[in-house]
Amino acid sequence: MLIHQLGNWVTLCSLQQQQPFFINVIMRHSTTTTGALIPSRSLPICCFSTSRLGISSSKVRVRRGLCRARRRVRYEEEEEEEEEDGHNEEILMLEAYSQSSREEALLVKAEVDAQEVELLIFKGFSSSLSYGTSPDPSKSILPARAVIKTVDIVKGPFDPSNIEYLQKGLSWEKFKTSFLSNS
């Protein structure tokens, strides 16, 4: 990646590309920030050429930055897959409910293509107990075609060795009328 800095080009490369950080170049009399987000993952390390800037590498400082927005690269294949699967609005409602009910976790049993799937929803986040959960938070855990069968309300935080049920075996319709209409 090239960044234009003080009339010269600086070549930047990172080891891994996930989270951003900023590059600060400290000159003799002033400090300037490039303002560009440079992707990196867990190591705040990058390599670049300072010779074109006329400064020594000891004058360069790398500072970690935070990125609060969820960003991801979209590919045509994924767009087709998402159109086919879509987002499950019911799961979004359950995640919103669990954010407001911080002392409760939800165990959800659903059916996807005649296969039973079990989910855990706690503090606004959902995770599949039946198969691997995507690390990408922008992907729906269940496709739109999934049908929620039952919802169990358990005491949070969830401890699989000692599950304390507050409500067990609620149908989706019963849960929706009893709990979602109140929140």
Does residue 147 surpass a pLDDT of 70? yes
d(CA 176, CA 181): 7
In this prediction, residue 126 carries a pLDDT of 86
| Choice among 115-119, 133-137, 162-166 with the minimum mean pLDDT | 133-137
Whether pLDDT at 20 is above 50: no
Identify which of 10, 57, 14, 15 has the alpha carbon closest to the alpha carbon of residue 34: 10
Kindly report the pTM of this predicted structure.
0.52
Strand partners, 104: 155
Question: Per-residue pLDDT tens for 37-72?
Answer: 434 333 333 444 445 445 555 544 444 444 444 444
Q: What backbone torsions phi and psi does residue 97 show, to the nearest 5 degrees?
A: -60, -45
* Band (179; pLDDT cuts 50, 70, 90): confident
